[in-house]
């Protein structure tokens, strides 16, 4: 008998706040977590001032009482020194997710069937940069002993496993901006195939660094407009979109075999959603640009919907990958149109990157949580700054008329089935179909 996989816990660290509740509250209220690098204390000294892109999504710094970030609120000084920032974000989001799933006490849980699948697209950019500079200027003795263990992309997963004694599958995918969603899909498969009963899964990223922003700027991937008004910089599907906003954070989910959840006493009304289908594909086209037809995205979504056993007409909402790049948004829209263009009801499509920017390897996990919350609470988060849908000079405007892109304000809507998309450099695509638990 096929196992059903459900979501029982959520944890978030995002530019909209530390914690699921403040992040979701700010998201549906239409707030933005984007800021200008000109506000950073090291704007002139660290190299930010040289970069034409000035907008980032940074975790707000301050007290946890105000839903902001300070390592001291979560780790002692020794721990903080040993843990890269991306691992810290992952550990904090994991703690929240475990508490949410009523797993603060793991006594009686078979830890050999309790695994971790948490990935990162880049790992510790800060440690790579700092140790490279130190080695170049001062030689071997100035390389930190923990340099390699801190930078590795699997170290968030490793530290989560160690902290909680989880001896099940220990897995860390790194597939660029599809990482978070792939991690959830892999965790789903581990449970379906009886490698685990329960998994901590998601993604985490801390790439707010001038070298990272410079690299994306040189690749012409990040936004260069709206430097004076950062909240307007991320504009998915809008005619004035011209690049994504580099952001950071973490999203962690607890996914679990349904029978296991019920046996340990989880109330069915506390189950957030069920994972119904997982799809993935490759563009086989280009290292950074998708096919304008959206073929790879279409294949990924189609697989997720088909494996869920439902008809495309039953999908109510798509949380789009849409990063606010000219070609990427158009390609995804073409893929959505191809799969859902003949459905009888109006499909809602929104991109929450308009509020938080692009969290790279953490994006799919964070956006999965937004998708799940939309299902649970019948509220679809908005696409901010959407003033001219498909209005770019190279867009075919008629391709943007079929769907409701939830412009600028959240929307109350019953959502039974919702799809979350994540795509990345190298032509990697992933999609997960979530449903209301019943």
Q: What is the largest CA-CA distance in the chain?
A: 66
Phi-psi label, residue 309: left if phi above 0, alpha if psi -120 to 50, beta otherwise: left
Selected catalytic residue, list 67, 171, 177, 392: 177
Q: What is the Cα–Cα distance from 294 to 334, expressed in whole angstroms?
A: 6
321 flagged as catalytic: yes
Selected catalytic residue, list 67, 358, 392, 420: 358
User: Are the C-beta atoms of residues 274 and 6 closer than 8 Å to each other?
Assistant: yes
Spell out the SS3 assignment of the chain: CCCCEEEEEEEEEECCEECHHHHHHHHHCCCCCEEEHHHCCCCCCCCHHHCCCCEEECCCECCHHHCCECHHHCCCHHHHHHCCHHHHHHHHHHHHHHHHCCCCCCCCCCHHHEEEEEECCCCCHHHHHHHHHHHHHHCHHHCCCCHHHHHCCCHHHHHHHHHHCCCCCEECCCCHHHHHHHHHHHHHHHHHCCCCCEEEEEEEECCCCHHHHHHHHHCCCECCCCCCCHHHCCCCCECCCCCECEECEEEEEEEEEHHHHHHCCCCHHHCCEEEEEEEEEECCCCCCCCCCCCHHHHHHHHHHHHHHCCCHHHCCEEECCCCCCHHHHHHHHHHHHHHHCCCCCCCEEECCHHHHCECHHHHHHHHHHHHHHHHHHCEECCECCCCCECCCCCCCHHHHCCCECCECCCEECCCCEEEEEEEECCCEEEEEEEECCC
Bridge partners of residue 200, in order along the sequence: 116, 254
Selected catalytic residue, list 74, 171, 321, 392: 321
Catalytic machinery residues: 177, 321, 358
């Amino acid at each position: 008998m096929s196992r059903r996989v459900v979501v029982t816990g959520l944890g978030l660290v995002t530019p909209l706040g530390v914690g699921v509740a403040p992040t979701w509250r700010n998201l549906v209220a239409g707030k933005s977590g984007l800021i200008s690098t000109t506000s950073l204390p090291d704007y002139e000294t660290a190299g930010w001032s040289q970069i034409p892109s000035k907008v980032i999504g940074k975790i707000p710094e301050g007290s946890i009482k105000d839903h902001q970030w300070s390592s001291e609120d979560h780790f002692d000084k020794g721990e903080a020194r040993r843990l890269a920032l991306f691992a810290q974000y992952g550990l904090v989001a994991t703690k929240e997710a475990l508490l949410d799933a009523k797993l603060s006490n793991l006594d009686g849980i078979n830890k050999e069937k309790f695994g971790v699948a948490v990935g990162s697209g880049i790992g510790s950019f800060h440690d790579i940069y700092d140790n490279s500079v130190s080695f170049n200027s001062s030689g071997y003795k100035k390389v930190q002993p923990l340099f390699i263990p801190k930078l590795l992309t699997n170290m968030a997963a490793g530290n989560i496993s160690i902290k909680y004694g989880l001896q099940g599958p220990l897995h860390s995918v790194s597939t660029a901006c599809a990482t978070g969603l792939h991690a959830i899909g892999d965790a789903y498969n581990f449970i379906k195939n009886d490698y685990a009963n329960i998994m901590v899964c998601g993604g985490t990223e801390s790439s707010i660094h001038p070298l990272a922003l410079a690299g994306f700027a040189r690749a012409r991937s990040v936004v260069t407009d709206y430097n004076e008004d950062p909240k307007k910089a991320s504009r998915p599907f809008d005619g004035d979109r011209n690049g994504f906003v580099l952001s950071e954070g973490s999203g962690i989910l607890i996914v679990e075999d349904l029978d296991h959840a019920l046996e340990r006493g989880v109330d069915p009304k506390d189950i957030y959603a069920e994972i119904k289908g997982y799809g993935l594909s490759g563009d086989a086209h280009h290292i950074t640009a998708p096919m304008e037809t959206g073929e790879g995205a279409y294949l990924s979504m189609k697989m997720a919907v088909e494996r869920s056993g439902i008809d495309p007409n039953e999908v109510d909402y798509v949380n789009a990958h849409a990063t606010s790049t000219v070609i990427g948004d158009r390609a995804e829209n073409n893929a959505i149109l191809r799969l859902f263009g003949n459905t009888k009801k109006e499909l809602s499509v929104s991109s929450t990157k308009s509020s938080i920017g692009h969290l790279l390897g953490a994006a799919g996990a964070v956006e999965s949580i937004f998708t799940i919350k939309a299902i649970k609470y019948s509220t679809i988060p908005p696409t901010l700054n959407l003033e001219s849908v498909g209005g770019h000079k190279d867009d075919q405007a008629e391709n943007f008329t079929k769907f409701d892109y939830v412009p600028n304000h959240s929307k109350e809507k019953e959502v039974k089935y919702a799809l979350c998309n994540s795509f990345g450099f190298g032509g990697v695509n992933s999609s997960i179909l979530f449903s209301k638990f019943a």
